[in-house]
Amino acid sequence: MLTAAASTDLNTVEYVVFGVIAASMAIAAIRVVTAKNIVHAALYLVVVLAGVAALYVMLAAEFIAVVQVLVYIGAIVVLLLFGTMLTRAPIGTTSDLDNEQRGVSLVVSLFLLGVLGWTLTKAFGWSHMPETPVQRTADVGNSIFQSFVIPFEVVSILLLAALVGAVVIARRD
Amino acid sequence: MLALDLTAYWAVTVLKVAVVLALIPAGALILGYVFLLKMMSFMQSRLGPMEAGPGGVLQLVADGVKFLQKEDIFPDRADRRVFALAPVVVLMSTFLLYLVIPAGPRLVVQDLDTGVIFALAVSSISVIGVLMAGWASANKYALIGALRAAGQLIAYELPLVLAVVGVAMQAGTFSLQGIVKAQANGEIFGFGAIGNPFLFTQFIGFILFIVSAQAELSQTPFDMPVAESELVAGFMTEYTGFRFLFFFMGEFGTAFALAAIGATLFLGGWYLPGVHGGLADVVGPLVLGAKIMLVAFLIFWVRFSYPRLREDQLQALAWKFLIPLSLVNILATGVLKVVVK
């Protein structure tokens, strides 16, 4: 058993940690859509997003993991909770959180699963990932501002446009 | 046979966790006693607590024991699970903050490469705990307090992060240990005896950091989330006993940690000119402690001196003044970094 585990690139501890993270993410993701309370659903979403950050840590992408927490948990979920609590978020269960689009969403989800699964197996096959050292933040900065500076600037312009659009929609005078 | 190997991974981890677990209540008690009880009293020409221990030093310990004895009350219509979980989320965020703060060349739980960004990321988790607490209490004052807290923390997180960016640019790293070293090895116009505390070159950043930290900690003049004359006690209204104690420790433990981060970013952290090597590991915590008290003194001095802002004044200050100023600060730092080298 031990030799079998040692012969692969991943070791047993990594398998166990990945299993725990993946299982809790899957359970929380199911609870996001089945929860009968909108705030509970948002809080389960926090668990899912924290699981993504944990997976980034396992992939030795420290900076991305920290930004994931800062942006998704610290800002987006907070805005989500803020918005629901400001408008309507009753305590207890409500029955009007579901709509009649289960069939459509099933098709979309299966399509997404197929596309992502096909792309990943096509790109990587079943080969083991090489042992990667922890990614230095300076390396991330260097690759963004040297190799990928044009995509980066395009994304900035897109975000700026979205920002201006939000301001225009918000102030109708 | 059962010799304890203190360099084993598990032993080191247990030791680190134990130190942080002891540090949070200790930091909260020190700030609570020195500033909340004594400094405020002296500023108001009174003695403050005098009975528990010499000069009342044990007052907060006595309060803590009192809180532990109280009944664990849930409001009748509260969402019990979320209500119980909220203080834990807040305290967890405080706990994680201590992971990256260095107190000496080797005295740091984990010197992350993303250091200061990690600290800001985990400190933003506490907002979720506050929102959970306010919503689950089934009380309109609690909910209004939580919404105010969220709006305020979102607004002031931006200038806080942008103030830190200036420091990170000058030091060339996010790692807090690296930022301390950059200050220790720096020179002011060729004069390197005291290093180069970023307080001088990033003075605007320091002001931005202190003001934003004041708001992040909900200290007066930014204490609308717990405004006692308007909202009873804001999001903490329904909490009693040890759950309230969690919030109290979270508040003062975070104040201690943010003061430590401020001291590390702008005052040189554990570095004392002329102290190197192994000695720095002994003197470092004391130096850092003194600098923490200096930063915390500023925060609490303002807290006890100024009245509360209005909600619109609070938002206007963040969006119309602090954020533009912090962007100009980043631009100036970038230009100077290239020109001066």
- Taking the C-alpha atoms of residue B245 and residue B24, their distance in angstroms, rounded to an integer, is 12
Which of B124, B131, B138 shows the shortest C-beta gap to A85? Answer: B131
- Taking the C-alpha atoms of residue B17 and residue B15, their distance in angstroms, rounded to an integer, is 6
Under 8 Å between Cβ of B205 and B163: yes
Residue B61 counted as domain residue: no
Residue B160 counted as domain residue: yes
- Taking the C-alpha atoms of residue B136 and residue B291, their distance in angstroms, rounded to an integer, is 38
Residues of A whose CB is below 8 A from B125:
69, 73-74
Q: Following DSSP, what letter does each residue of B232-253 receive, concatenated?
A: TTGGGTT--HHHHHHHHHHHHH
Which of A46, A75, A136 shows the shortest C-beta gap to B113? Answer: A136
Which of B79, B121, B147 shows the shortest C-beta gap to A69? Answer: B121
Under 8 Å between Cβ of B87 and B262: no
A162 has pLDDT over 50: yes
Structural domain including B141 reads 71-340
Listed residue (B254, B22, B42) closest to B129, CA to CA:
B254
Location of structure tokens 């680190």: B16
Residue B4 — very low, low, confident or very high, per pLDDT cuts 50/70/90? Answer: low
> What percent of chain B has pLDDT above 90?
6
- Taking the C-alpha atoms of residue A25 and residue A20, their distance in angstroms, rounded to an integer, is 8
- SS3 assignment, position B120: helix
> What percent of chain A has pLDDT above 90?
26
pLDDT of residue B8: 73
Residue A110 — very low, low, confident or very high, per pLDDT cuts 50/70/90? Answer: very high
* Contact across the interface for A85 and B146, Cβ inside 8 Å: yes
Which DSSP helix (H) or strand (E) runs through A103?
helix A102-124
* Contact across the interface for B113 and A73, Cβ inside 8 Å: no
A7 has pLDDT over 50: no
* Contact across the interface for A82 and B151, Cβ inside 8 Å: yes
Listed residue (B230, B222, B286, B290) closest to B251, CA to CA:
B222
To the nearest 10°, report the CA torsion of A24, A27, A30, A35: -100
To the nearest 10°, report the CA torsion of B125, B212, B214, B198: 110
* Contact across the interface for B124 and A77, Cβ inside 8 Å: no
Under 8 Å between Cβ of B87 and B250: yes
Average pLDDT over residues A98-126: 87
Residue A6 — very low, low, confident or very high, per pLDDT cuts 50/70/90? Answer: very low
pLDDT of residue A107: 93
pLDDT of residue A9: 53
Q: Which residue in chain A has the smallest CA separation from B139?
A: A91
A133 has pLDDT over 80: no
* Contact across the interface for A137 and B173, Cβ inside 8 Å: yes
Per-residue model confidence as pLDDT tens digits over B138-165:
888 888 888 888 888 888 888 998 999 8
pLDDT of residue B250: 86
Q: Following DSSP, what letter does each residue of B56-100 receive, concatenated?
A: GTTHHHHHHHHHHHS-----TTS-HHHHHHHHHHHHHHHHHHTTS
For residues B110 and A111, the model is more confident at A111
Location of structure tokens 């408008």: A87
- SS3 assignment, position B188: strand
Which of B82, B121, B136 shows the shortest C-beta gap to A74? Answer: B121
Average pLDDT over residues B185-198: 71
Residues of B whose CB is below 8 A from A69:
121-122, 124-125
- SS3 assignment, position B191: strand
pLDDT of residue B245: 87
- Taking the C-alpha atoms of residue A96 and residue B309, their distance in angstroms, rounded to an integer, is 40
User: pTM of the prediction?
Assistant: 0.83
Alpha helices in chain B (DSSP H): 9-31, 40-43, 59-69, 80-97, 115-123, 126-136, 140-171, 176-185, 198-201, 203-216, 228-231, 241-266, 278-305, 311-316, 323-340
Location of structure tokens 């007066």: B220
Residue B152 counted as domain residue: yes
Total domains, chain B: 1
* Contact across the interface for B117 and A136, Cβ inside 8 Å: no
- SS3 assignment, position B271: coil
Residue B242 counted as domain residue: yes
Listed residue (B334, B285, B265, B318) closest to B117, CA to CA:
B265
Residue B192 counted as domain residue: yes
pLDDT of residue A2: 38
Among B79, B99, B125, most A C-beta atoms within 10 A, so best to mutate, is B125
* Contact across the interface for A138 and B173, Cβ inside 8 Å: yes
A3 has pLDDT over 70: no
- Tell me the sheet residues that pair with B191: B188
Query: Does the model's ipTM exceed the 0.85 cut?
Result: no
Average pLDDT over residues B168-175: 85
Mean pLDDT, all residues of chain A: 83
Out of A124-128, A154-158, B236-240, pick the least confident. Answer: A124-128
Q: Following DSSP, what letter does each residue of A30-99 receive, concatenated?
A: HHHHH-SSHHHHHHHHHHHHHHHHHHHHHTT-HHHHHHHIIIIIIIIIHHHHHHHHHH---SS--STT--
- Partner B, chain A 111-170, Cβ-Cβ below 8 Å: 134, 136-138
* Contact across the interface for A81 and B79, Cβ inside 8 Å: no
* Contact across the interface for A85 and B82, Cβ inside 8 Å: no
Q: Which residue in chain B has the smallest CA separation from A83?
A: B147
Residue B161 counted as domain residue: yes
Q: Following DSSP, what letter does each residue of A108-119 receive, concatenated?
A: HHHHHHHHHHHH
pLDDT of residue A159: 92
Residue B24 counted as domain residue: no
Residue B91 counted as domain residue: yes
Under 8 Å between Cβ of B261 and B116: yes
Q: Rounded to the nearest 5°, which phi and psi values hold at A35?
A: -60, 145
B225 has pLDDT over 80: no
DSSP designation for B187:
-
